[in-house]
A and B are shown apart, each in its own frame.
Chain A
Amino acid sequence: MRYLPLSDADRSEMLSVIGASSVDELFRDVPAEARLTGPIEGLPLHASEMAVERHMGALSRKNVAAGDVPFFLGCGAYKHHIPASVDHIIQRGEFLTAYTPYQPEIAQGTLQVLFEFQTQVARLYGCEVANASMYDGSTAMWEAIGMAGRITRRKLAIIHEGVHPHYVAVARTMARFTGDSIADRAPALSADMGVEALIEEIAANEPSCVVVQYPDILGRVADLRPIADACHAKGALLIAVVTEPVALGLLKAPGEMGADIVVGEGQSIGVGLQFGGPYVGLFATREKYVRQMPGRLAGETVDAAGKRGFVLTLSTREQHIRREKATSNICTNSGLCALAFSVHMTLLGEKGLRTLAEINHARAVEAARRLAAIPGVELVNDAFFNEFTLKLPGEARPAVHAMVEKNVLGGVSLGRLYPDEPGLANGLVVAVTEVVSDADVDALEAALREVVS
């Protein structure tokens, strides 16, 4: 119980100040029949730092760490190198253990970081304003659909087939309760993204929004401008979802192509894989929609002495003011992950991000070429950033497990993401980032050659 500083002497002295004979007297409003008398049976008692570390270490070693094997998984979470100084900075107690910056005079560190983060995200996405982050990409996408509904006063969201199926599942779950309807379908294992069909669908309906992922779940990329035009012609908003922000070091920003709301996952920059969380949702839009945007915002102002400073602002949209009329029930952001994102982005800068993106792309192109040369294996994409889809001669799922036996984590099988779509069972999504070495590609190529033969 090393985290509890009170001694027994302190406790009795404090009880005498309070005028209570025992600490149990302070719990006297709890009915006796609901009070537990001793530690809960079956649960272990306190343990030393050494014992706990040993126990957790043993659990940790039961997992295969991505850095220890040739590793090619993507589909919404990416392994990139994180400079050592990022983790150093986020572990500074003044950032790690700070509270939400509701007292701005003593929270300028966090507030300025959030202001810088908002600016970085807005520029990366090609939008005017960004918020101080959301829980993750999937919840940010759902919030964007809700926001589009508030702006257009319509209830239909059309989701393009290339959007991550887990993101679609989140939207469908929420829509079931909010009364929005969601139109979506599974992708075809093809280079054709069905953009023309999507544009026809937009024209035939009255959607609040259209959601397109860029690059999509198969790694494909499409020009968003024709889709944006089709949306705007029908008074709908275009929501672009970016699960791999590094791509935007090389590709045109969705905001530049007419997207009205751009959301996505920021995990690739500064935040580790962490088995799915915590991650950092990014959310940006046009200035005119800022009052409909969910989440926190840091804004610039001055203090009583005229110095520049930052505060949380426009909180009249939020739950602590508007209660049941709030734009969202979200009450937090992903502050520490936003800091990690911002620090990594500051280290990269324009030049570093561009170089990083080019290395990712070049290595992915090279790996795709080599893998597609394996007999029976086809490359599905004509265009991609650092992630592409292979069509194997048989189901990809057993191939992934067979590669584990060879100590290679060779990609994500589409069968795992789309268990009910037999047409996708042979698809394997492979992500190649800067951490993949030549030897890793050799190992994947050899393993895949063997398991498909």
Chain B
Amino acid sequence: MTLNPSGWRPAAPADVAGEAATVTGNRALMLEEPLIFEIGDEDTTGVDFCLSPLGEMSAQPTEGVDATDTPSGASRHLPQGGGALDGLLRTSPIGLPGLSEPQTVRHYTRLSRQNYAIDLGLFPLGSCTMKHNPRLNEKVARMAGFADVHPLQPRETVQGALEVINELALWLIDLTGMHGVAMSPKAGAHGELCGILCIRAALEARGDARSVVLVPESAHGTNPATAAFAGYKVENIPATREGRVDLAALTARLGPDVAAVMITNPNTCGLFEPEMKAISDAVHAVGGFVYCDGANFNAIVGKVRPGDLGIDAMHINLHKTFSTPHGGGGPGSGPVVLSEALSAFAPLPYTARTADGVVHLIEEEQADRFAREHFGGPLQSFGRMTAFHGQMGMFTRALTYILSHGADGLKQVAEDAVLNANYVLRSLEDLLDAPFAFSGPCMHEAIFSDKGFAEGFSTLDVAKALIDEGFHPMTMYFPLVVHGAMLVEPTETESKANLDQFIAALRSIAERARAGDEGLKAAPVHAPRRRLDETLAARKPVLAYANPVPEGAEGAGAETAAVGGR
């Protein structure tokens, strides 16, 4: 075994670069796992609907009914007067191949080995916080009283579930210093929409038609998309050389047509906006509201309460700050904390505990009465954002994490996240250009640019080379205000030893990029795939499996068949 220049990881033997080799030396990882459409068939099933004497799932409820009938046979089970179902029965196959249980487990287990995950190593992603996911959270979420309750069960049978929602809601309110919380948004961007709709509803309630939302150019792409979706005209506000919102430009633009300013704090340049309170005061002075993108709340949880900075609405990505697993892209959960001015407009359903200690789930039917009895006025909610109560499975995980940390541990979370990011920043700034390092400490994420790389070498090359070093790449080319941006957010669950390994790997790659080492262009070579052709994927989209096209036929389908073969 040889050591690579960073000195900590076994490198692949030199003679197999580009051939079947992986970081683990396991050739199985280089094999293609066929699609289920190539290995399964329509008569195979991995489940058994048993007619055994255990009998609890009897499939023979009436005499003469054979549950293994073909679809057309099943029409015999129609109730009297029926017949409409007859014409609606499927007559052609769906095309869903099945696998037996061992085949299924092996198929997905093999696929899982082609994924990088937080359980395998560091994800230095800016603004997409990937931290350790405690398994206690998973265990709790699977308790029958949480996992196996229906959203429309009579309320007397779900008091514990309502208490979970309420307990989490109270933590979120206290940690943010806000007045209320809408629990139902399904993800961060859904939460943004919730916050902007609360603002719009509050403005409408006072008969104030405003048309513009101001969004700093460093904002997440969801911010302008959300504002546009809620019917607003979006105007950008530039950033200063220091990577902060240009306060002068912002205040100059404020006026009676501005409904809201959407701001991210700590911002996407990894910096705290020290003038946040002044910004809020200026926006409030013209009658507008302040929306804060709470994606980066993990950097300040327990240290700063957004409510004290004049924020009116902020979504909290539970998976980011409170560790619910990312799951390869979701589900997320995006509760929105609200100021006193906005709370009355929160979407239904919401929860509240009354003076008698009972937790109430408030839906349309009781909402108005409830508002009059307990909040002294008629209902002003802007409506409903999702069919049921939100991401209950995420609430149990987040609450478990919060209780494990407590108020003291959450403060330590923010401190360690910020400490780790500054450690990365200072350990690399002699080699990598750090455009905002002069601005002072960063918060939870460190930002670098591609300045100093040899001509023709890009951030993408550095990112792909990190894969070969055993790390997930950092966020690339974001924020847009930095050329060739590399945004690194280590999070609080990384040890110093992990950070030292990452820093060593990035240093060695940066040195190669500065020296113009052509080998970088080939990276990754130690991954389940080499660089993938994204242009081809977009130009000739193949979005579903098609059965192999007969020989001689042309087009993408034929290629699929040839490459995929069993």
CB neighbours (8 Å) of B272 from chain A are 27, 29-30
**Which listed segment binds B: A151-159, A205-213, A362-370?**
A362-370
Chain A residues 344-371 with CB under 8 Å of chain B are 345-356, 358-359, 361-363, 365-369
Q: Give how many A residues have a beta carbon under 8 Å from the other chain's beta carbons.
A: 219
Q: Which residue of A lies closest to B471 (CB)?
A: A106
Find A416's partner among B136, B365, B564 (CB 8 Å cutoff): B365
Query: Does B3 lie at the interface of the complex (its beta carbon under 8 Å from any beta carbon of A)?
Result: no
Q: Given A4-B412, A18-B423, is A31 in contact with B143 using a C-beta cutoff of 8 Å?
A: no
- B157-191: CB near A (< 8 Å → 1, else 0) gives 11111011001000100110000000000111110
Whether B175 lies near A40 (C-beta < 8 A) is yes
A362 to B61, CA, bound (A): 7
A13 to B416, CA, bound (A): 13
**Which listed segment binds A: B4-12, B283-291, B372-380, B523-531?**
B523-531
Whether B388 lies near A350 (C-beta < 8 A) is no
CB neighbours (8 Å) of B14 from chain A are none
Query: Does B239 lie at the interface of the complex (its beta carbon under 8 Å from any beta carbon of A)?
Result: no
Find A34's partner among B149, B304, B529 (CB 8 Å cutoff): B304
Query: Does B18 lie at the interface of the complex (its beta carbon under 8 Å from any beta carbon of A)?
Result: yes
Q: Which residue of A lies closest to B35 (CB)?
A: A116
**Which listed segment binds A: B119-127, B449-457, B512-520?**
B119-127
Whether B347 lies near A77 (C-beta < 8 A) is no
Q: Given A105-B529, A308-B563, is A355 in contact with B331 using a C-beta cutoff of 8 Å?
A: no
Give the most central of A29, A106, A107: most B CB within 10 Å.
A106
Whether A335 lies near B533 (C-beta < 8 A) is no
- A413-434: CB near B (< 8 Å → 1, else 0) gives 0001101100000000000001
CB neighbours (8 Å) of B134 from chain A are 3
Give the most central of B149, B189, B418, B543: most A CB within 10 Å.
B543
Query: Does B340 lie at the interface of the complex (its beta carbon under 8 Å from any beta carbon of A)?
Result: no
CB neighbours (8 Å) of B132 from chain A are 3
Cβ distance A430 to chain B, nearest Cβ, rounded Å: 12
Whether A329 lies near B329 (C-beta < 8 A) is no
Query: Does B153 lie at the interface of the complex (its beta carbon under 8 Å from any beta carbon of A)?
Result: yes
- B373-417: CB near A (< 8 Å → 1, else 0) gives 000000000111111111111101001110111111101110110
Interface size of B as a range: 35 or more
Find A105's partner among B47, B68, B406, B467 (CB 8 Å cutoff): B467
Q: Which residue of B lies closest to A308 (CB)?
A: B563
Whether B390 lies near A276 (C-beta < 8 A) is yes
Q: Which residue of A lies closest to B123 (CB)?
A: A99
Whether B94 lies near A124 (C-beta < 8 A) is yes
Query: Does B355 lie at the interface of the complex (its beta carbon under 8 Å from any beta carbon of A)?
Result: no
Q: Which residue of B lies closest to A276 (CB)?
A: B388
Whether B104 lies near A120 (C-beta < 8 A) is no
Cβ distance B399 to chain A, nearest Cβ, rounded Å: 7
CB neighbours (8 Å) of B174 from chain A are 40, 42-43
- A12-42: CB near B (< 8 Å → 1, else 0) gives 0111011110010111111101111001101
Cβ distance B245 to chain A, nearest Cβ, rounded Å: 13
Chain B residues 109-139 with CB under 8 Å of chain A are 109, 111-120, 123, 125, 128, 130, 132-134, 136, 138-139
Find B392's partner among A112, A179, A277, A356 (CB 8 Å cutoff): A277
Q: Which residue of B lies closest to A319 (CB)?
A: B225
Q: Which residue of A lies closest to B189 (CB)?
A: A331
Whether A95 lies near B154 (C-beta < 8 A) is no
Whether A89 lies near B108 (C-beta < 8 A) is yes
Chain A residues 131-171 with CB under 8 Å of chain B are 132-133, 135-139, 164, 166-167, 169-170
CB neighbours (8 Å) of B125 from chain A are 99
Cβ distance A101 to chain B, nearest Cβ, rounded Å: 6
Whether A106 lies near B158 (C-beta < 8 A) is no
Query: Does B364 lie at the interface of the complex (its beta carbon under 8 Å from any beta carbon of A)?
Result: yes
Whether B327 lies near A95 (C-beta < 8 A) is yes
A5 to B500, CA, bound (A): 14
Whether A26 lies near B347 (C-beta < 8 A) is no
Whether A298 lies near B563 (C-beta < 8 A) is no
CB neighbours (8 Å) of B534 from chain A are 104, 301, 311, 313
CB neighbours (8 Å) of A347 from chain B are 45-47, 98-99, 101, 104
Q: Given A36-B305, A321-B221, is A129 in contact with B543 using a C-beta cutoff of 8 Å?
A: yes
Find B57's partner among A302, A309, A404, A434 (CB 8 Å cutoff): A434
CB neighbours (8 Å) of B415 from chain A are 23, 26
Whether B365 lies near A383 (C-beta < 8 A) is no
Query: Does B473 lie at the interface of the complex (its beta carbon under 8 Å from any beta carbon of A)?
Result: yes
Q: Which residue of B lies closest to A57 (CB)?
A: B143
Give the most central of A278, A320, A409: most B CB within 10 Å.
A278
Query: Does A328 lie at the interface of the complex (its beta carbon under 8 Å from any beta carbon of B)?
Result: yes
Find B231's partner among A60, A91, A177, A435 (CB 8 Å cutoff): A177
Q: Given A95-B112, A173-B385, is A351 in contact with B44 using a C-beta cutoff of 8 Å?
A: yes
Query: Does B241 lie at the interface of the complex (its beta carbon under 8 Å from any beta carbon of A)?
Result: no
- B70-108: CB near A (< 8 Å → 1, else 0) gives 010010011101111101111111111111010011011
Q: Which residue of B lies closest to A326 (CB)?
A: B225
Whether B47 lies near A3 (C-beta < 8 A) is no
CB neighbours (8 Å) of B41 from chain A are 349
Whether B152 lies near A412 (C-beta < 8 A) is yes
Query: Does B53 lie at the interface of the complex (its beta carbon under 8 Å from any beta carbon of A)?
Result: no
CB neighbours (8 Å) of A179 from chain B are 231
CB neighbours (8 Å) of A450 from chain B are none
14 more CB-based (< 8 A) A-B contacts, given A332-B187, A382-B79: A28-B441, A43-B175, A89-B104, A96-B117, A99-B472, A103-B467, A108-B114, A177-B197, A275-B392, A278-B392, A331-B188, A331-B221, A349-B43, A383-B82
Q: List the 5 shortest-distance A-B pairs measured between CB atoms, nearest first.
A: A349-B98, A276-B388, A62-B160, A173-B383, A336-B327
